[in-house]
Structure 1
Amino acid sequence: MKSDSTKVEAYINTFPEDVQEKLNTIRKIILENAPEAIESISYGMPAYKTHKKPLVYFAGYAKHIGFYATPTGHEAFAKELSVFKQGKGSVQFPMNAPLPIDLITRIVQFRVEENEALFK
């Protein structure tokens, strides 16, 4: 995996410890499920691409973690994501609740498969 991991680590380290923990959890999910992904900072947040196509992004905030799986990732999981505050192409996981690890994992896997299909 090509990586700008030091910049991603520096980004994560700017947050309080509780936010860092959640950001590192999301990062680990992405890296485990998309080992070929290129990790970088884009739009001021950790970004991941496969086959030169966006995979997912995430960002830390005081009261939530923003997760961006491009519109298709959100559309495919619309029912499960409906319990969270959303914007166009984004979902907010509140800091005062556990991360939906299984859901995030399945979204990342879905996006990996989508990008793989585009590459073939």
Structure 2
Amino acid sequence: MGDVDDSLAAMGEPERGCLQRVIATAWRVVPEADQGRSYGMPALKVDGKPLIGVVAAAKHLSIFPFSPEVVDAVAPKLAGFSLSKGTVRFTPDHPVPEEVVEEMVRLRLAEIRR
């Protein structure tokens, strides 16, 4: 196992399932991504740079694409979600649509590879 798998395995449901879905979606887009940590959170990395991270907090789940530009780019598709500079917050009852996760991953990968 790796940092992401270990962190997710320690969580309860439904949080674990929701965050595993985000990670599985990211791996479908970037199958060569490695597990690691960035800013203390479990994250997938590409070329040693953070691609996407996930965290379960007390009242929400978060996706971190490590880029304010990526969050800004998908913000119009995330009405009703809590967004900040580099974070998308959601709940198990209101998950981020898979196509938006895919878009975040593709946009972040493009930034990394520039």
| TM-score class normalised by the smaller sequence | 0.7 to 0.9
1:90 pairs with one of 84, 87, 91: 87
Q: C-alpha deviations, 1:8-55, integer Å up to 9, x for none?
A: 222112211211111111110111111222221233322122223322
**Residue 40 of structure 2 aligns with which residue?**
44
TM-aligned CA distance change 1:99 to 1:74, over 3 Å? closer
What's the counterpart of residue 21 of structure 2?
Answer: 25
Is the aligned partner of 1:99 residue 2:96?
yes
For the 8 Å contact 2:2–2:36, the answer to whether it is kept is no
Name the residue aligned to 1:73. 70
TM-score, scaled relative to structure 1: 0.81
Give how far 1:104 is off.
Answer: 0.6
Paired position in structure 1 for 2:106: 109
Question: Which of 16, 26, 30 is the aligned partner of 1:34?
Answer: 30
- Which residue of 1 is the match for residue 7 of structure 2? 11
Confirm or deny: 8 A CA contact 1:49 1:56 kept in the other structure: yes
Report sequence identity in percent.
Answer: 29
Query: How many residues are treated as equivalent by the alignment?
Result: 113
- The amino acid across from 1:101 in the alignment is E
Q: SS where residue 47 of structure 1 aligns?
A: strand
Change (3 A) 1:51 1:6: closer
Task: Output the CA distance in 2 between the equivalents of 1:29 and 1:10.
Answer: 18
In 2, the alpha carbon distance for the partners of 1:76 and 1:37 equals 22
Give the RMSD, CA atoms, in angstroms. Answer: 1.8
Question: Within 2, Cα distance between the matches of 1:67 and 1:75?
Answer: 14
Contact 1:29 1:104 in 2 (8 A): yes
**Which structure is larger by alpha-carbon Rg, 1 or 2?**
1
Distance 1:10 1:104 in 2: 21
